[in-house]
């Protein structure tokens, strides 16, 4: 079983964070294997040692039955809004720390790099450097300020990743919304899935997939957000409204073979629909561990949903990740 979507955050000190940017996160351990992701004086999120301690992570992989896990930055580490040079230095440092994290068992722990996506040249450089360190792919946010994935610079970065054979996991972050979404984690429940759908639709409706190489491996987190469920609405709009199709020559659903999604959707019916829309070779196990909004029993949903279909089950749990990320 290979989990392609999990997060880490290294033991960043407050001084390390402050040296990078006032918005940089740091880790406050409060003892007994728990702590907080902090931003300045503010507690951003309670966390546990699996997030930063590779030995604790490895023990948990044993318990969870995960053979190989890909860990990537917690999105608050992205730094896309910071000074570009400071972000480039930060990303390199985080990627080095990710390599250290994996060194506890490089056969089982793999990483996806982070890059300073506000500076395309620097992002390409860091992706190449990370590849040489052993990172098996890159994680990017679904936008950089007002630039969506269809931004020409970001498309150049994606082309670079294709040329380097670096798969790209797209993770939602910096969520749309307003004061109506202050409580109950609504940005995570409403806006994150919308951000992911927006990322996919930006590539489709801009016609970007017509210009991106077919060997680019793109994977969208959280089952692609609300994309699969709303695909009928999008195809219908494309068919009947000129301004929807003006830059997109083919029906939106025809581009589903250009990307993959993870399985973090938490419902059997939704997962079945996702596999129906994406095809069984384009859904990959992703747990979103070690966060509370992740799958607490890794693989349980896929295993129970496809209990009677070993081919689909094994593809989602293992085979698709082996193919996309070049893993043994």
Total residues at the site for its own copies (CB under 8 A)?
A: 58
Site stretch for its own copies (CB under 8 A), options 5-13, 128-136, 156-164, 271-279 = 271-279
CB atoms within 10 A of CB 183: 6
Site stretch for its own copies (CB under 8 A), options 6-14, 19-27, 241-249, 320-328 = 241-249
Question: DSSP letter string over 262-310?
Answer: ESTT--HHHHHHHHHHH-TTSEE----BTSTTS-SSTTHHHHHHTTT-H
Site stretch for its own copies (CB under 8 A), options 82-90, 163-171, 222-230, 319-327 = 222-230
Please tell me whether residue 263 binds its own copies under the rule CB under 8 A. no
Which lies closer to its own copies via its Cβ, residue 88 or residue 191?
A: 191
Task: Give the C-alpha separation, 304 to 145, whole Å.
Answer: 39
Please tell me whether residue 193 binds its own copies under the rule CB under 8 A. yes
Please tell me whether residue 36 binds its own copies under the rule CB under 8 A. no
Please tell me whether residue 76 binds its own copies under the rule CB under 8 A. no
Of 297, 270, 293, 271, nearest in space to 284 by CA: 271
Q: Determine which residue in the list 267, 304, 309, 311 makes contact with its own copies, applying CB under 8 A.
A: 267
Task: Give the C-alpha separation, 130 to 118, whole Å.
Answer: 17
Please tell me whether residue 303 binds its own copies under the rule CB under 8 A. no
Please tell me whether residue 266 binds its own copies under the rule CB under 8 A. yes
Task: Give the C-alpha separation, 93 to 84, whole Å.
Answer: 14
First to last CA, the chain: 12
| Maximal C-alpha separation, the chain | 59
Site stretch for its own copies (CB under 8 A), options 1-9, 56-64, 72-80, 198-206 = 198-206
Binding to its own copies, residues 200-219 (CB under 8 A): 201-202, 205-206
84 contacts: CB under 8 Å, gap ≥ 6: 116, 118, 119, 122
Please tell me whether residue 19 binds its own copies under the rule CB under 8 A. no
Site stretch for its own copies (CB under 8 A), options 62-70, 89-97, 98-106, 268-276 = 268-276
CB atoms within 10 A of CB 233: 11
Which lies closer to its own copies via its Cβ, residue 90 or residue 255?
A: 255
Please tell me whether residue 148 binds its own copies under the rule CB under 8 A. yes
CA 92 from chain centre, in angstroms, equals: 18
Q: Determine which residue in the list 31, 42, 178, 214 makes contact with its own copies, applying CB under 8 A.
A: 178
Which lies closer to its own copies via its Cβ, residue 4 or residue 127?
A: 4
Please tell me whether residue 244 binds its own copies under the rule CB under 8 A. yes
Q: Which two tokens stand for residue 91?
A: 């990303």
Task: Give the C-alpha separation, 134 to 111, whole Å.
Answer: 8
Cα distances (Å, whole numbers) of residue 2 to 6, 98, 209, 299, 314: 11, 18, 28, 9, 10
Of 229, 218, 310, 322, nearest in space to 276 by CA: 229
User: To the nearest whole angstrom, how small is the minimum distance from the Cβ of residue 290 to its own copies?
Assistant: 11
Residues that bind its own copies (CB under 8 A): 143, 146-148, 176-181, 183-186, 188-191, 193-194, 197-198, 201-202, 205-206, 222, 226, 228-237, 240-241, 243-244, 246-248, 265-267, 269-270, 272-273, 276-277, 292-293, 295-296
């Amino acid at each position: 079983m290979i989990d392609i979507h999990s997060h880490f955050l290294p033991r960043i000190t407050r001084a390390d964070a402050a040296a990078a940017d006032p918005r940089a996160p740091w880790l406050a351990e409060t003892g007994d294997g728990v702590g907080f992701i902090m931003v300045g004086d503010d507690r951003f999120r309670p966390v546990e040692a699996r997030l930063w301690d590779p030995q604790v992570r490895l023990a948990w992989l044993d318990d969870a039955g995960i053979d190989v896990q890909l860990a990537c930055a917690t999105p608050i580490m992205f730094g896309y809004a910071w000074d570009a040079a400071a972000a480039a230095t930060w990303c390199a440092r985080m990627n080095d720390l990710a390599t250290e994290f994996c060194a506890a068992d490089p056969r089982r722990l793999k990483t996806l790099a982070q890059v300073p996506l506000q500076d395309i040249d620097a992002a390409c450089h860091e992706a190449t450097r990370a590849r040489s360190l052993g990172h098996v792919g890159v994680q990017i946010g679904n936008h950089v300020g007002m630039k969506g994935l269809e931004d020409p610079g970001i498309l150049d970065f994606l082309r670079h990743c294709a040329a380097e054979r670096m798969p790209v996991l797209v993770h939602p972050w910096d969520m749309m919304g307003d004061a109506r979404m202050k409580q109950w984690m609504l940005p995570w429940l409403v806006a994150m899935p919308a951000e992911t759908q927006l990322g996919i639709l930006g590539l489709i409706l801009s016609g970007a997939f017509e210009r991106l190489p077919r060997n680019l491996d793109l994977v969208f987190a959280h089952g692609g957000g609300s994309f699969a469920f709303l695909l009928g609405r999008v195809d219908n709009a494309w068919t009947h409204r000129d301004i929807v199709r003006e830059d997109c020559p083919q029906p939106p659903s025809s581009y589903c073979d250009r990307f993959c999604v993870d399985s973090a959707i938490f419902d059997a019916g939704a997962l079945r629909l996702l596999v129906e829309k994406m095809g069984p070779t384009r859904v990959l196990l992703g747990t979103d561990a070690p966060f509370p909004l992740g799958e607490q029993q890794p693989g349980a949903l896929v295993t129970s949903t496809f209990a009677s279909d070993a081919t689909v089950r094994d593809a989602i749990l293992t085979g698709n990740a082996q193919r996309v990320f070049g893993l043994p």
